[in-house]
Structure 1
Amino acid sequence: MKIKEKKVLVFGSGISGEAACSLLLREGAEVVLYDGNDKLDREEILSKIPESGNGSLQILLGTLADEKKAQLLKTLDLVVMSPGVPTDLPIVNEMRDRGIPIWGEIELAYEAGKGEVLAITGTNGKTTTTSLLGQIMKNYTENTYVVGNIGNPYTSVALETTEDSVIVAEMSSFQLETIETFRPRVSAILNITPDHLNRHHTMEAYIAAKENIAKNQTEEDTCVLNYEDAVTRQFGETLKAKVLYFSSQRILEEGIYLDGEKIVLSLNGEKTEICTVNELNILGTHNHENAMAAAAMAAAYGVPVEIIRKTLKEFQGVEHRIEFVAEKDGVVYYNDSKGTNPDAAIKGIQAMNRPTVLIGGGYDKDSAYDEWINAFDGKVKKLVLIGATREKIAQTAEKLGFHEIVMADTFEEAFEKCVEYAEPGDAVLLSPACASWGMFKNYEQRGDKFKELVNQL
């Protein structure tokens, strides 16, 4: 579809909607940005959308009166959905019934851009894998863009891409719901566990959205899948694309796997040791899987093993996700402030390979903490609790037989207690299993404070 002079509705503001508007305006479209939230500031939205190109922009906020809605729908050539807007809203169904093409922001960027796409989805590990693959590809070619759910909309760079660009894209299930022609040269599904069921309603619909990542791939393309995930393993048997599995549990004839501590790539009958897990700076089996997925995708694209190996050894991980901060007086400090719920924080504990002093607690999201406490598994020597949830967590821990609990009134006090209890050979881990609100604006601010305190030691 040629965009110039077409009337396009961008549904939903926010970072994706604003980037989509900018692209459409540069392409000369007549753009209507619609958001159902009438409390948004029109001037603030306008200030974030650069004026460029020959297009025009109209902003509509709040509920549309029936007459105005009917009038608008009659004139539309295309609708571009922001990822945060559900695709089963009555107004969206009405658009569908009228035969108006409905694209996601990813489809728009793909249609407008050039180059080849390496796309990653999965319930967990997307950001780490995308960041690592992005680094590998940047070390291979400077003409690399890292985009998508990682915070940099694909639409914000699509018009800068060239035929030899490589686009590394993190894709959410929301973004994958609305693709039409999007076809990655290499795709990956890292794992699938229940998530976002309030949006997708059923596990089947959630899985189908994830699997859309490979729906347009052909025999010339590759899909990287987790052999240890029953859903992705079975999905691999249905694909046109070449399938490359990764496994942390078994040796594969073709694919990439852990053999003891070695990461081994087996491709076209040739086995190559890439590195050992001890040479990685990212901890835990889940991160070893992320590293294997990124390596497999790069290898499938044709990146030399030397570049993959060098990047894997250098990669420091994603900020605030089991991030190594420093070693001070024989104690290592890890920032896992992104562990904002018990499930995420369990990964932080599982990654520790030494006695650990743990900071937990924060804002109360009505979570249950039993599984998290049970995951301590003899590793946690002291639990230092803060925030609104500290009493609730302490009661759960006592009930489950964990008694090494210390209360702190402030974040700084909690940190001081950790320094006091940690001995050479121990780890101090910030992985609170709770949101940061109440003490901090967000988990990033909490993680930054932790790092600041560590670096002052």
Structure 2
Amino acid sequence: MKGETLMNEKVMVAGAGKSGIAATKLILETGGEVLLYDGNEALSEEKIRENFPENARLTICLGELDETLLTGIQICVMSPGIDLETPFVRKLTDKKIQLWSEIELGFQVAKGQLLAITGTNGKTTTTALTGAIMQRAFGNSFTVGNIGLPYTEVALKTTEKSITVLEASSFQLETIIRFHPHVAAITNITPDHLNRHHTMENYIRIKEDISSNQTVDDFLVLNYDDEVLRAFGERKDLKPKVVFFSSTQLLDDGYDLEDGVICRKEKGEKTELIRTDELQLLGRHNFENVMTAIAMAVCMKAPMDAILDAVRKFRAVEHRIEFVAERYGVKYYNDSKGTNPDAAIQAIKAMPGPTLLIGGGYDKGSSYDEWIDAFGGKVRYLVLLGQTRDAISDCAKRHGFTNIMFAEDMQEAVKVCASYANAGDYVLLSPACASWGMFPNYEVRGKVFKECVRAL
């Protein structure tokens, strides 16, 4: 079906959020008919219809699902926010309705080459940087997916010569069918979303599925320092050509970090590419993101001068260790995207000096021990808010860290940090938790933090 229409097909779209609206538009534009369903009965059907032409072949169902509407439907495009274990989803699978993710629909319709990036941490920065390189090297490119722009929103704009760079979350990869990137990358795999995926084994399998449809003509970029991914890359039954990168070990083939220089290795022969002090990104984890992006670009045969020019000019993505402002000698950084302990660890490591840390939020079933251990004398105060603040406080005290304060909201947290910080200190928002409960998403949380800092 890739590049073809959905003419005369009746397709269900589950979820009336941003990706669901984009998916519905795409199906309608390619000649299909849509049943748009959302379990939230408080939504306004009138407002949802404003997104579409008056004569659209569209049925909207809110609240309880009317199963008579499922007649003739063979495919349901799923919002990534819908847990596949809900009773509603079981009704679909009982009726043999195939579940597609929004990125599967985008892939089936889009044209041109696809690059896809997943991983627990670093995938957004890597996606944005890879997209910047593709734009610099080839011009006709799109950057989409979990980074904020739905794949389905640009699918009909793609051409045989265009390149699409996509960030794929585990939620999106759960329901792929023929999704097939020419170059794929997995940045790392650490515990996350276990409240949905339940076990690390299941979470790992879903991440590795990004390569499930790849062939011997494709490429898979993997983190050699991640034991799970190293083992995966060394499997004999893996079809794509594996390209490793490492920030801690010297490789014979791949990309590594030597004395502050990112190098490319080919059968032991070294080519120095770029010094890390030329980058506008902080931290070893970001050097890994750069290696990933360079490796993917080389697989696409992008000219090295174009690659390195894009890398030098690239700035941190919003909410990813993003410099906000300096107030009275104190520098403030926004890492609201640090929604799990491992991501928050990387942000702490990236801070150059004494740090006041704002953490806490929604409980995703994470363990905070390694996060606390990573403080390593660098964190002066820990300011906690949200649902997890008591659990994190108890964990910190067990590890001997007692400089802890609670805040009721972000404004209070920022003011507390400002009052306790000394000139030369850093204030870091890197919560190690999701935003839900206090904020609708991490973007809003980060924006509120920045507003509070700028109001000091």
Question: TM-score per shorter chain, which class?
Answer: 0.7 to 0.9
Pair member with larger Rg: 1
1:326-365 to structure 2, matched below 5 A, reads 326-327=325-326, 331-340=330-339, 342-360=341-359
Cα distance in structure 2, aligned partners of 1:409 and 1:174 = 31
Identity %: 56
Structure 2 match to 1:23: 26
1:135 to 125, 132, 137: 132
Q: Is the 8 A contact 2:195 2:365 kept in 1?
A: no
Q: Which amino acid aligns with 1:124?
A: N
- 3-state DSSP of counterpart to 1:157: helix
Instruction: Identify the residue that residue 161 of structure 2 maps to in structure 1.
Output: 164
Q: Which residue of 2 is the match for residue 263 of structure 1?
A: 262
Q: Which residue of 1 aligns with 2:123?
A: 126
CA distance in 2, matches of 1:249, 1:185: 27
Matched residues in 2 for 1:315 and 1:232: separation?
Answer: 27
State how far apart, in whole Å, the 2-side matches of 1:194 and 1:451 are: 28
Mapped to 2, the partners of 1:178 and 1:300 lie a distance apart of 26
Distance (whole Å) between structure 1 residues aligned to residue 323 and residue 333 of structure 2: 5
Alpha-carbon distance change, 330 to 202 in structure 1, aligned in 2, over 3 angstroms: closer
Name the structure 2 match of 1:36: 39
Distance, in Å, in 2 between the alignment partners of 1:194 and 1:406 is 27
Distance 1:59-1:294 versus aligned 2 partners, 3 A rule: same
Q: What residue in structure 1 maps to residue 292 of structure 2?
A: 293
- Measured against aligned partners, the alpha-carbon deviations of 1:386-439 in whole angstroms (never above 9, x if no partner) come to 678777766665554445556778755654564565555433323344666787
- Output aligned runs, 1:63-212, within 5 Å: 63-64=64-65, 69=67, 71-88=68-85, 92=89, 95-96=92-93, 99-212=96-209
- Does the CA-based 8 Å contact 2:331-2:425 persist in structure 1? yes
Secondary structure, in 3 states, of the residue corresponding to 2:252?
coil
Q: Which amino acid aligns with 1:376?
A: F
Rounded to whole Å, the distance in 2 between the matches of 1:76 and 1:449 is 42
The residue correspondences of 1:49-64 to structure 2 (distance < 5 A) are 49-51=51-53, 56-64=57-65
Q: What do the CA deviations read for 1:283-314 (whole angstroms, capped 9, x no partner)?
A: 22222212211111111111122222222222
Partner AA of 1:120 in structure 2:
I
1:307-362 per-position Cα deviation (integer Å, ceiling 9, x unaligned)? 22222222221212211234566543322233355444333212223222334466
CA shift digits 1:249-296 (9 cap, x unpaired): 211111111113111122477532222223322222222212211111
RMSD across aligned positions (CA): 3.3
> Does the CA contact (< 8 Å) of 1:26 and 1:55 recur in 2?
no
Deviations 1:41-80 (A, max 9, x none): 2122222x3328x850011223335xxx2x4444224332
Which letter maps to 1:145?
F
Residue aligned with 1:448, SS: helix
| Preserved CA contact (<8 Å) 2:330 2:426 | yes
3-state DSSP class of the match of 2:242? strand
Q: CA deviation at 1:133?
A: 1.1
Of the candidates 40, 44, 48, which is equivalent to residue 45 of structure 1?
A: 48
Residues 119 and 187 in structure 1, CA contact (< 8 A), matched pair in contact too: yes
Q: TM-score, normalised by structure 1?
A: 0.86
- Partners of 1:85 and 1:361 in 2: CA distance: 24
Alignment correspondent of 1:373: 372
- Distance, in Å, in 2 between the alignment partners of 1:169 and 1:331 is 36
Q: Tell me, in whole angstroms, the C-alpha distance in 1 between the residues paired with 2:201 and 2:431.
A: 32
**C-alpha distance in 1 between matches for 2:26 and 2:398:** 56
Shift in CA distance, 177/415, structure 1 to aligned 2, threshold 3 Å? closer
Contact 1:143 1:165 in 2 (8 A): yes
Asked if structure 2 preserves the Cα contact closer than 8 Å seen for 1:117 and 1:166, the reply is yes
Counterpart-to-counterpart distance in 1, 2:93 and 2:398: 53
* Partners of 1:386 and 1:408 within 8 A in 2: yes
Q: Secondary structure at the match of 1:303?
A: coil
How far has the Cα of 1:171 moved from its partner?
A: 0.7
Do the aligned residues in 2 keep the contact of 1:222 with 1:241 (CA within 8 Å)? yes
For 2:411 and 2:302, locate their aligned partners in 1 and report how far apart those are by CA, in whole Å: 45
Q: Distance in 2 between matches of 1:178 and 1:436?
A: 25
Alignment partners' CA distance in 1, 2:24 and 2:161: 25
Distance 1:405 1:95 in 2: 48
Work out the CA distance in 2 between the residues paired with 1:341 and 1:231: 19
Sort the Cα spacing of 1:222 and 1:354 in 2 relative to 1 into closer, same or farther, 3 A: same
Q: Partners in 1 of 2:438 and 2:92 — Cα distance?
A: 44
For the 8 Å contact 1:17–1:82, the answer to whether it is kept is yes
Question: Residues 210, 418 of structure 1: CA spacing in aligned structure 2 closer, same or farther, 3 A cutoff?
Answer: closer
Q: 1:402 to 1:164 in 2, by over 3 A?
A: same
Match of 1:218 in 2: 215
Say how many residue pairs are matched.
451
Amino acid at match of 2:44: D
Q: Corresponding residue for 1:282?
A: 281
The question of 1:235 aligning with 2:222 is answered no
Separation in 1, partners of 2:413, 2:203: 39
Please list every run of 5 or more consecutive structure 2 residues that lacks an aligned counterpart in the other structure.
none
Higher mean alpha-carbon deviation, 259-268 vs 136-145, is at 259-268
Give the structure-2-normalised TM-score.
0.86
CA distance in 2, matches of 1:97, 1:382: 52
What residue identity is the alignment partner of 1:246?
F
Which SS does the other structure have where 1:377 is aligned? coil
Q: What's the secondary structure of 1:428's corresponding residue?
A: strand
Deviation track 1:70-97 (CA, whole Å, cap 9, x = no partner) reads: x444422433222223445566556556
Give the direction of change, closer, same or farther, for the CA distance of 1:304–1:194 in structure 2 (3 Å limit).
Answer: same
8 Å contact 1:122–1:189 — kept in the other structure?
yes
Structure 1 unmatched ranges of 5 or more? none
